[in-house]
Structure 1
């Protein structure tokens, strides 16, 4: 793959050459999601990662991310993002190459309102995940607000909400569902699960073959969102970044499962093995 050239580092390179990723996520009770997303970005080769979280969870996140740059955001009652978070997020996004929005945000009304106001103002490539997706579900008018390029990373339940269909219908024909969502939202769609499907608005689609049942556990999608953001930040096109991200994510999971077994496999185990997965492909 020609995209693998991004992993060949020049002798005179510096951190700014490899992308600045902004992760926006987290809320009280969901502190791990932005941490795992940031780890996915760091292990995927991002040069700099900033993690913007509600101020009440700032110290928890900061203790777990010594290589990233945590930033506290104003919050609503209950420890989630509010309208006051909007301006600081936009200021941080202006200094980033790509934004990963959604991991652990919560579905609080104040947060959903913040996301809906944020999307039309973003001027950076976007990876929209988890509660970021839930904030736009049932709001088809927001399709015009997504920054181009955008990558959506839903699991089957999130895609069902986006399309207004039952989960069973999504799972019955995952390829058709991913293509329909990609066309409707004019974005690359990564439908996660067994045999992750990647689709783009032109009708192109690919089914990923790496990964294993041990990856059916919390936090795996957060790592994937951060990894895809890191690849976009390093200059890979959104569709190719989604394809490569899914492949590397599954391969890292396979490496972890061979070492520790599929039972009890953690998302952090997968993040830790991303560099080894990259080396397998380079």
Structure 2
């Protein structure tokens, strides 16, 4: 059976109640993202995590861009990661810095805006192999070749959420992009079964499959969401919800809905295309309130 993601369905899966809680009670999100070419990915994802209700935020980014990220998101603690060739993160040194922080985080996001290639793969593998019990969101370059280390993902017992588009899914499964685009649900099911993870298969419509095979479907938030940085925002919303204590599949469903409906609201306000990814997060708190109150 496939569950259609609607406000009514999500009201039956209420988010952890923040009323009267401290910021520690809402959890700390650790966002490991960005690169010298795309430093804004960390900013987009980190801001989205806070808008989704995470109590605290740490952003980890290449040292050369860290000061700029700290100014852009003054609410965050920003961790400078050691740089290697070309200003990219040195994965071996970065792992040593990050592993203790993953143990203290309530949820961890890896990959948004990071450079594709072996260094990101190696860092992702090292973090997945660490002792942290926190759930992980893996996005963008951190998904590439993930089936090659499937045992490390499976060892996390369903506490991993993947957010691939068709190209990233193809690189994960080792197949052609056309095959994923022809059957996105089949690709999501294959990845969820192989990795024991929650898979958010992004596209004009979004499919979510959990390790047990339960399937969720969201019809899409409109063409305007196909814009630079939109996926970073989605990953950030999901890690923020996880930090609050939401279960992985439910965080994925809520995140996809909030991201999509934010797109709908912006389309109504300013037109179907042309709004910016940075504007999506601002819609999220009101949407969470409206779903909970039955206003939507």
Give the alignment's TM-score, normalised by structure 2: 0.89
Describe the SS at the equivalent of 1:273: helix
In the alignment, structure 1 residue 256 sits paired with structure 2 residue 286:
no
1:215 and 2:216 matched: no
Other-structure match for 1:130: 140
1:115 equivalent in structure 2: 124
Q: Deviations over 1:153-177 (max 9, x none)?
A: 1011000111122111111121111
Residues 97-131 of structure 1 show CA distances to partners (whole Å, capped at 9, x for unaligned) of 11001111102433332222222115221000011
Q: CA deviation at 1:253?
A: 0.9
Is the counterpart of residue 235 in structure 1 residue 257 in structure 2?
no
RMSD: 1.7
Residue 69 (structure 1) aligned with residue 83 (structure 2): no
What SS does the corresponding residue of 1:184 show, helix, strand or coil?
helix
Q: Work out whether residues 204 and 220 of structure 2, in 8 Å CA contact, stay in contact via their aligned partners in 1.
A: no
Q: Distance in 2 between matches of 1:175 and 1:148?
A: 19
Aligned to 1:281: 291
The answer as to 2:44 corresponding to 1:43 is: no
The corresponding residue for 2:255 is 245
- Do the aligned partners of 2:145 and 2:171 also contact (CA within 8 Å) in 1? no
Q: CA deviation at 1:140?
A: 4.6
Structure 2 counterpart of 1:87 = 96
CA, structure 1 residues 41+57, in 2 after alignment: closer, same or farther (shift >3 Å)? Answer: same
- The 2-side partners of 1:69 and 1:189 are apart by 29
Assess if the C-alpha contact under 8 Å between 2:120 and 2:142 holds in 1: no
Matched, 1:58 2:59: no
2:3 maps to none
CA-to-aligned-CA distance 1:242-271 (integer Å, 9 cap, x gap)? 011101110111111111112212111111
Native 8 Å contact 1:125 1:147 kept in 2: no
Structure 1 gap ranges (5+): none
- The answer (yes or no) to whether the contact 1:80–1:108 under 8 Å persists in 2 is no
- Aligned twin of 2:106: 97
Aligned CA distance change for structure 1 residues 112 and 203 (closer, same or farther; 3 Å):
closer
- Are 2:192 and 1:187 equivalent residues in the alignment? no
Q: Secondary structure at the match of 1:189?
A: strand
Structure 2, unmatched stretches of 5+, are 1-10
Count of equivalent residues: 280
TM-score, normalization by structure 1: 0.94
